[in-house]
Amino acid sequence: MIPEPLLELHLRTLHLSAVLANYRRLLAEHAEPLPYLSDLISLEATKRHENGVRSRIAAARFPTMKTIESFDFKLQPELPKAKLLEHFDGTFVEARRNLILYGAPGLGKSHILSALGLAMCMRGYRVAFITAAELLMKLLAAKRDGTLQGHYRKLDRIDLILIDELGYIPFDREATDLLV
């Protein structure tokens, strides 16, 4: 049998913090080793999933945290609720298809984008939320300092880029060419 301090060292080395935090408690609750081990590994997997979701949400840089449940479709009855909700399963991301939300100001496009992004973070996708103006300013700066290809490579690693306020500001030809 492995000495307890050595076990704890191994758990720390392997970054199994949920196992380390719970192995004594679960050992007292289980007579059989396989259910015990299964429960320990389940706790670790759950903790890693939760940490991944938190990390993806922070990296996405949402302006506000919105969920689709908090969107009041009654205030916007012209929105195709069923069609919008279909996209929350993430198949359009997996298929690498674009989704465009358009309409007059005040319909809730930004809310829906945030909610969609949050849902995709929970599904394990890497997400970035950015305004069109901010994105184009970053691309122009990267072009000027010679790091444009590196910036494009960073964007390629993101599963879903949510570009808000695309039609609000006119851009010059140089800026819009960077989006192609």
**Would you kindly state where each structural domain of the chain is located, as residue ranges?**
4-59, 68-177
State pLDDT tens for residues 83-133: 999 999 999 999 999 999 988 888 899 999 999 999 999 999 999 999 998
**CA-wise closest residue to 72 among 100, 113, 107, 39:** 107
Q: Helix or strand or coil: residue 115? A: helix
Domain spanning 68-177, CATH class: alpha beta
0.75 exceeded by pTM: yes
Q: Give the Å distances, CA to CA, from 53 to 18, 65, 122.
A: 16, 13, 5
Angle at 123 between CA 42 and CA 71, to 5 degrees: 125
State pLDDT tens for residues 79-97: 899 999 999 999 999 999 9
pLDDT at 2 over 60: no
* pLDDT given at position 129: 97
